[in-house]
Amino acid sequence: MKTLINKERPLVFCPGCSHEKVVHALDKALVNMGIDGSEVVIVSDIGCSGLFDTFFNTHALHGLHGRALTYAVGVKMARPDLKVIVTMGDGGLGIGGAHFISTIRKNIDLTLLVLNNFNYGMTGGQASSTSPQGAVLGSSFLNKIDNPIDPCLLAQGAGGQYINRLSCYQNDLSIQLEEAINFKGFSMLDIMGICTGRYTKSNKIFPKDIDGLIKKMPKFAGISSTPDSSNSVNEYTERYFEESKKQKSKDKSQIIKNSIPKNFDKLFSGRKEVILLGGAGQRIITAGEILALAGMTSGLEVTQKSDYPITVLRGHSVTEVVLQDREINYSGIESPDIIIAISEQGVYRRSDLFKNLSDQTVVIKSKDLEINGLNSADSKIINIDFKEMKIKSTDRALGALASLSAMGSIIDLNMLKKVIEFKFKEKAKIIDSSMEIINKVVH
């Protein structure tokens, strides 16, 4: 008779252990399906259910406790053609609860056998996620005060499409397993059995008690009998690769988008440091990038580093740009050549800058912005009256860049305009409005 049982690895379960029934039923199901061992991967968890992979002549992946489903998803995503069967106990179910829920949510074509014997058998019969409150276990009183999980209800809550509750002892176990394996999607089987090594030491339980238990619990029978259409989804790998085909290839464009040719000669030698101080939504980081790219059009090396709160729509937005005629090593700014200040949040964030301002520093600021400690005797201040020019808050960073460009010491207006045309090349409206802002500031 054909079998996928590995004859070199005899079963090592305790006498009377119900896991043995599942091994034989699984073998019968796979043989009946006519599939070869090389088309099957058994991914097993830790504990007695973790022995399953060794008993079969199939591919095997035995991993960490509670994590079997994660390896199974990796295998299935890489090789959707393989039959992937996962075995875990009620222990692994508890440990990997998040994986259980999330994998069911995907409806990925895996078959999960939860070998539910109500305790951690291998470590000495401690309480697990499914231990009844009345059981006497190796965890003293603790299981009396925990509610057991019903794996089927949990799977249902996660949107499970195929859920069944079985007894290790039922005659049609292999037929039920075959049906679950054949289901195109995630199938979850809660297979109840008896741990003779530990559980039955202090708890009387017989095969007929399992039948009684199943009768008392909510009924499941494979494919969800009342399919909730809003919850019903096609199999994950199919959907994944279908959606993938619709995605535009972006790798090359991601890298090339910022590739900018050298068009101009450098305006300075050495290093220049520019810091832009603004607030959320003022396009500070975009302005910093434009400045950096403008520098690159004259063959400069540049760096840009930004600082903003994780709540991105509120608070400061600060960006630091270093421009240098040779490779930049250190990207920090100690004494900026230019400070662009257009909102008090940014100024407040970097108030340290204004305490020891060098007399070389040029401050380009919004006219209405008060800056504590800024002394016009110590530094050159350029005030821009954005209100008078009717330049909106979101456009002021660009306006300040125009003013910087007009100075011609770091970048000039040709460089600035070149970069705007380059960066927004398919967005004529943005280019037009940007040029308008530049012309307002630089008459």
Partner 1 sequence: MSNIFIDGNEACGAGAIAAGCNFFAGYPITPATSIYNYMLNALPSEGGVCLQGEDEIASIGYCIGASMTGKKTMTATSGPGISLYSENISFAIGSEIPLVIVDVQRLGPSTGSATKGADGDVNFIRYCNTGGIPVYALAPADVRDCYLLTINAFNIAEKLRCPVFILSNKEIALTKKSVNLNSVKLPQILDRVLCTPNDHFLPFATDYDDTAPPFLPIGSETLVRQTSSTHGINGYITIDSKEIFDINVRLQKKVENSLDEFLFYDELLKPDSDTLIITYGISSSSAIEASHMAEKTESNISVLTLKTLWPVCEDLIREKAQDFKNILVIEMNQGQYVNEIKRVLPEKNVQFLGRMNGTLIKPSEILEVLTNENSYK
Strand, helix or coil for residue 252: helix
Interface residues with partner 1 (CB under 8 A)? 9, 37-38, 41, 43, 53-54, 57-64, 67, 69-79, 81-82, 98-99, 101-102, 240, 243-245, 247-251, 254-256, 258-262, 289, 292-293, 296, 300-307, 310, 328-332, 334
Residue with tokens 């009256």: 385
Per-residue burial over 370-391, b = 16 or more CB atoms within 10 Å of its CB, e = otherwise: ebeebeeeebebbebebeeeeb
Min dist CB 240 to partner 1, Å, is 7
Distance (Å) of CA 22 to CA 65, 297, 382, 424: 20, 70, 81, 63
Between 168 and 181, whose beta carbon lies closer to partner 1? 181
Distance from the first to the final alpha carbon of the chain: 93
Between 333 and 371, whose beta carbon lies closer to partner 1? 333
Sequence-distant (6+) residues with CB within 8 A of 162 are 180, 183, 185, 186, 187, 188, 222, 223, 224
Min dist CB 194 to partner 1, Å, is 25
Min dist CB 85 to partner 1, Å, is 13
Between 36 and 432, whose beta carbon lies closer to partner 1? 36
* Cα 132 from chain centre: 36
Min dist CB 364 to partner 1, Å, is 22
Min dist CB 254 to partner 1, Å, is 6
Between 69 and 374, whose beta carbon lies closer to partner 1? 69
Between 95 and 192, whose beta carbon lies closer to partner 1? 95
Residue with tokens 């890298």: 255
Between 291 and 347, whose beta carbon lies closer to partner 1? 291
Sequence-distant (6+) residues with CB within 8 A of 69 are 43, 86, 88, 96, 99, 100, 103, 110, 112
Between 15 and 332, whose beta carbon lies closer to partner 1? 332
**279 strand-pairing partners:** 316
Rounded to 5 degrees, what angle do the CA atoms 6, 176, 37 make? Answer: 30
CB atoms within 10 A of CB 334: 9
Which amino acid would we find at residue 145?
I
Min dist CB 309 to partner 1, Å, is 8
Min dist CB 140 to partner 1, Å, is 27
